[in-house]
Amino acid sequence: MIATHSAPPFEPRPARDLRDEVLRALHERHSIPLKVAYLGEGSQIWNAVASDPDYDLGQRELATLRAFLPEAGRELRDGPWNIVHLGSGNGIEAPFVVEALGPSAISRYVIVDISASLLSLARAHLKKGHPHLRVSPRVEDLDVANLARLAADVKRGGAPRTLFLLVANGALAAESRLLERLPPVLGRDDRLLFTVELFEEGREEEILRSYRLPSMARLFRRQLRQVAIAAVPDDALHFYIDRERHLVRIDLLRRAPLHYLWPLGSVEPTPSPIHLFRSFRPTRQHFPELFLRTGLRIVTAVLPSATRCGAALCAPRA
């Protein structure tokens, strides 16, 4: 049986705005945005996932990024650069970016995330090795953030060039349009550095293994608790691959009537299933198309078979 309880308020957007967004997602798409899981105490849960030695996906994406950074750094030698790390999470990747470019080549390092608590962790990661680095935390919900304003704000008082990072952070979540919304705000000399796991036939169970970890299951349960759904049995979470569309999918299946509560009031019947997570994995053949169809050109890229991930440094198409 799945129980309900009262849920905590959200940050940083007004609770009513986020409440309305989640209500629309439940009613229109039968889904709960994963971003709500990272709020409040969810930041500690995600930090535990990112630090889990069994979280193979994170380790492979980080290894791909670290292997790619020297090559990317050669293309980025004409600094200084502003760095805008979108969806920085706990910032575990950030020190490697600084070391690859060199602190003197970075005018400012802007970390952007929906969770203020995760931004504090990311800032600590950066300041530990580079205490004089100019680090600017920025609490933003990237689904609704004004990216043009963000890009302009960063250059005001910073360098004329900006490197945007989308690394190891679910940028290809099925509902997200971030990769499509970003290219129009890039200046001619700006760049985007991107990493993603690749889809390969026969690797379905390997891909799903990272999502079945106990640490990751706690994140999905946190996501449900944000709409007051608690005591979720293990067999209510369904993990699978949509092979036709190359989507990783995690759903909540229920076998009994269920209502969810909201801290601002309202009791509503829930749909079944509830989609908790849907994330696209491109194949090696489709990897270049991600950028070409959004108005970007690939400056340099790697698709190492050992990590089964891809990394690319992109620029606006002239």
* Shared-domain flag, residues 191 and 68: yes
pLDDT in tens, 162-209: 999 998 754 466 666 888 899 999 999 999 999 998 988 888 888 899
Domain contains 165: yes
Q: Let me know if residue 224 belongs to a domain.
A: yes
Which structural domain, as residue segments, surrounds residue 169?
56-199+285-316
**Same domain for 173 and 262:** no
Residue with more model confidence, 142 or 162: 162
Is 51 a domain residue? Answer: no
Residue 171 domain-assigned (yes or no): yes
Shared-domain flag, residues 166 and 296: yes
Q: Into how many domains does the chain fold?
A: 2
Residues 289 and 141 both lie in one domain: yes
Please report the pLDDT score of residue 72 as a whole number: 96
In this structure, the answer to whether residues 158 and 91 fall within a common structural domain is yes
Answer yes or no: do 139 and 256 share one domain.
Answer: no
Residue 2 has pLDDT above 50, yes or no: no
The answer on 265 and 159 residing in a single domain is no
Identify which has the larger pLDDT, 96 or 267: 96
Is there a domain that residue 79 lies in? yes
Higher pLDDT, 314 or 144: 314
Q: Average pLDDT in the 117-145 region?
A: 92
Rounded mean pLDDT, 65-88: 94
Q: The sheet that has 162-166: what strands, in order across it?
A: 135-139, 106-113, 81-86, 162-166, 191-197, 309-316, 296-302
Question: How much is the pLDDT for 254?
Answer: 67
**Do 141 and 70 belong together in one domain?**
yes
Residue 30 lies in a domain: yes
Q: Compute the distance between CA of residue 316 and CA of residue 1 in angstroms, rounded to an integer.
A: 51
Band the pLDDT of 106: cuts 50, 70, 90: very high
Q: Which residue has the higher pLDDT, 189 or 307?
A: 189
- What pLDDT was estimated at residue 270? 58
85/193 same-domain check: yes
250-263 pLDDT, tens per residue?
998 865 445 444 44
Domain CATH code at residue 94:
3.40.50.150
Question: Does the pLDDT value for residue 233 go beyond 50?
Answer: yes
Q: Verify that 180 and 289 share a domain, yes or no.
A: yes
Q: To which H or E segment does residue 257 belong?
A: none
Task: With respect to residue 263, please indicate whether it lies within any of the assigned structural domains.
Answer: yes
The beta strands (E) that lie in the chain are given as 3-4, 81-86, 106-113, 135-139, 162-166, 191-197, 229-230, 237-242, 247-252, 259-261, 267-269, 274-280, 296-302, 309-316
The continuous run of DSSP H or E covering 218 comes out as helix 214-225
- 65 and 177 in a common domain: yes
pLDDT at 36: 86
- Whether 42 is in a domain gets the answer no
Within this chain, do residues 136 and 235 fall inside the same structural domain, yes or no?
Answer: no
What mean pLDDT value characterizes the chain?
84
pLDDT reported for residue 271: 60
**pLDDT of amino acid 56:** 86
Question: pLDDT of 210-219, one tens digit each?
Answer: 899 999 999 9
